[in-house]
Chain A
């Protein structure tokens, strides 16, 4: 290794001062003089005396060199020496080294990968100016958080609150942009004028919205994203003042927002929320705005909260009909954006940390065993004058070096894990930082590598060097394991078994949840279903008839495609497009007072929707083509709604009221379906006639015989052909929609299952190692016992008793920890009891079996000992 002398030289030059060098020179000079004096005193001729003295000194430079090496280079010298030892030791046991490094690399890799996500989502600040003063707000009803706030309430709160530098509202949407070069559907955000200034982003071209533009009617100004600017306007600097056709209406572009800015949704366009009679939330009990605010410096979240409580209380007095019990709850914005992802991430972090601990346990066990095997080496080196400190240091260097190698390999694994897993992880809302292997993460990896190395190395090193050389040399032929060492190894196994129980129980619960979710009755058949949005423009298709005609014709043409069984149209596709519930009550009863009303999810459908979705029609009839704006308003209820509104009575032909509208006649009852998500309940649902309402923005649902995605392109062509300004947007198979709804959980479950599997494997290896070693240690004793006629059953019992005790203790400890630990996963569970006895019994039985299986081989070896061989060896 040519670089070692180089390092040495540099190190020496850095640490050795001139004064020290001079003193050494002087000392050697004085030695020489004394030697010469001695020789001349004996009668030698001075010239010869000097020559002989010089020869005896043996070259001043060489002496100085060895002094330097012994002295200041010593630290580095011994490190290099240790590393040489390490490399030699590793080379001698390549299998051992490989297992240790791989075990640790997997553990460190998984931890690095998960930590990089935690770092991005939970630790690093969200990328907005002074993000610690940003808050998010949610409406509450009687104290329970309920999502968006109404526009009128927002303006009232925003106008009177003093705690904020600014309070903004926004709501993401999708719109179609028309005109050159081609129509496209983009993400759009309705935002108050102050949203972007509050978050601290500035336009790269043009200006923000102005407060004056908030007036009723508005200035119809638009901000566009850098991406849209380059795409549609070629990045021209004079884009300000140009017109943009959004849903057929003209808006004036005032500025361009940099593409690095992301907040809550991926959007290309911002339009201003205005005051007055406006399309969003015309009434105080219609809620669609999300809230974000910036606190004034020095104002705490609690102060802002108490001020806003005061304001909402006075609004409740002012508008008792709509605002009784309504409040606004404020959160730290980062916490709000991370949301539910937090639980899953923390769970994964805890799990991977546990797997690393189990891996460390194994490696420590291996090192302890190897330390015993190396007692002879250590005793000999100690006898030859190596101080214990030095031996311990060498052994620790060995393990730290191995974990560092594992750390480097672990970074490789981390990249892999990130690709495999983290892309699917729930990462909260858009705008949170993306996971990356940055300095913090690499520091984390380095730290856990060194800590793991020290953790696995120190105890075995102390153990291996604890024996006094003379004691050891006295008993050179029979090395028996020190009691402390064996207790340590037993404890390690107990801890491993316990950790495995926790992981098994945890993943068992999640797997149950997963299987419940994948077999859950959705109320409709998701197979072979294609869904995508089609939005026409109200200003072009002015009448309800025109709109109904467009969609009828579309359905007709789509159904003509070979392979399509049926198609229909709905305002919101189940699972993929949640929310929107309205109050509903029987017309023969008064409108329920505030707080006692029941709501049902409202969906607008065309004929044959239920058949297309395979939602069974239970009573009455479907919505028909004959239900037009000229005939009476009709409604189809879900089974739950019908039973809830008309318990024990036939609902068909009865009238119901919805919010402010005229009464509807119930014409049919259909099966319950999960509309808000796979994990949602069978909510109340009502289906209204899309033709009677003249809906413009719809989902096209298509039942196909083959892979649904094959039909996306033909349908796109049909839509383009019917109206070049309309787009068949984001077509997806229903199974993809469901997968996305479950994706976070699915990934967490898969990852947890995988980690539990690794933990189980490591634990059984650890258990096997301890027992095999234990049997090996006592092989002489077993031989003698057999020679003296001990029954094999007794020997077997001896070995098994030891393992049963260890496994039993581990299982008991594991169950106790699990009972408390599963609270962590509770939020993720679906129709699964966190204390589900079956899961616990299963985990215990499974682990117990694996544990005992790991003892079989060692036990078998114990009773197969040939006494003659053993005695001969002695």
Chain B
């Protein structure tokens, strides 16, 4: 995946962040690194996309941020999932699965 595609797949970025946070609260860089790690470096989220997404989702009430200590004792803002965010993740997942299935149907049709 290339960076330029992320703009179009804004909905997917939300979903990925939510998924990442569903495992454990993370700070901004932590989320980036975690995504990179899971996708074997295919998916790189730059701060220019990450922070707007985080703040928007915080405003929507899906995630909540709080200041804490990082693994190497630095101050960092950690985000964690709210119940609303958890159900949102469920919706997005379902929609995604349907979309994939549908597009699959279209592609496999002959």
Contact = CB atoms under 8 A, between A and B. Distances in A.
A83 B28 CA distance: 33
Most buried by A among B46, B51, B74, B99: B51
B51 A385 contact: no
Interface range on chain B (Cβ under 8 Å from partner): 20 to 34
A37 B74 contact: yes
A58 B52 contact: no
B3 to A, nearest CB: 10
Nearest to B53: A70
Given A34-B29, A34-B74, A473-B106, A63 B47 contact: yes
A476 to B, nearest CB: 8
B47 A28 contact: yes
A61 to B, nearest CB: 11
Contacts of A62: 48
B4 interface: no
Contacts of B61: none
Interface string B1-30: 000000011111010000000000001110
B42 interface: no
B59 A74 contact: yes
Interface string A435-473: 000000000000000000000000000000000111001
B28 A27 contact: yes
B76 interface: yes
B95 interface: yes
A42 interface: no
Given A62-B48, A470-B102, A37 B77 contact: no
Contacts of B98: 468-470
Contacts of A385: 9-12, 14
A10 interface: no
A470 B101 contact: yes
Interface in B66-96: 70, 72, 74-77, 95
Interface in B32-50: 46-48
B51 A474 contact: no
Contact of B75 (A30, A56, A468): A30
A69 interface: yes
B48 A28 contact: no
A67 interface: yes
A27 B55 CA distance: 11
A57 interface: yes
A37 B71 CA distance: 11
Contacts of A66: 48, 51-52
A819 interface: no
A36 to B, nearest CB: 10
B8 to A, nearest CB: 7
Contact of B59 (A26, A35, A71, A468): A71
Contact of B51 (A28, A38, A74, A386): A28
B53 A34 contact: no
What secondary structure prevails in chain A residues at the interface with B?
A: helix
Nearest to A35: B29
A35 B106 CA distance: 43
Contacts of A469: 95, 98-99
Nearest to B98: A470
Contact of B74 (A28, A33, A69): A33
Contacts of B28: 27, 31
A66 to B, nearest CB: 5
A384 interface: yes
A383 interface: yes
B77 A27 contact: yes
Nearest to B77: A27
A872 B72 CA distance: 68
A57 B48 CA distance: 7
A33 B76 CA distance: 9
A24 B55 CA distance: 10
A384 to B, nearest CB: 6
Contacts of A69: 52
A829 B106 CA distance: 68
B72 A31 contact: no
B102 A58 contact: no
Interface in A306-352: none
Nearest to A384: B11
B77 A56 contact: no
Nearest to A72: B59
Nearest to B13: A385
A30 B76 contact: yes
Given A34-B29, A384-B8, A470 B99 contact: yes
A-B pairs with lowest CB-CB distance, top 4: A385-B11, A70-B52, A470-B98, A70-B56
26 contacts: A23-B77, A24-B55, A26-B77, A27-B28, A27-B76, A30-B70, A30-B74, A31-B27, A34-B29, A34-B76, A56-B46, A58-B48, A62-B48, A63-B52, A70-B53, A71-B52, A71-B59, A383-B95, A384-B8, A384-B11, A468-B98, A469-B98, A470-B98, A470-B101, A470-B102, A473-B99
Interface of B: 8-12, 14, 27-29, 46-48, 51-53, 55-56, 59, 70, 72, 74-77, 95, 98-99, 101-103, 105-106
Interface of A: 23-24, 26-28, 30-31, 33-35, 37-38, 56-58, 62-63, 66-67, 69-71, 74, 383-386, 468-470, 473-474
Given A23-B77, A383-B95, A383-B99, 15 more contacts: A24-B55, A27-B77, A30-B27, A30-B74, A31-B47, A34-B70, A58-B47, A63-B48, A66-B51, A69-B52, A385-B12, A385-B14, A470-B99, A473-B103, A473-B106
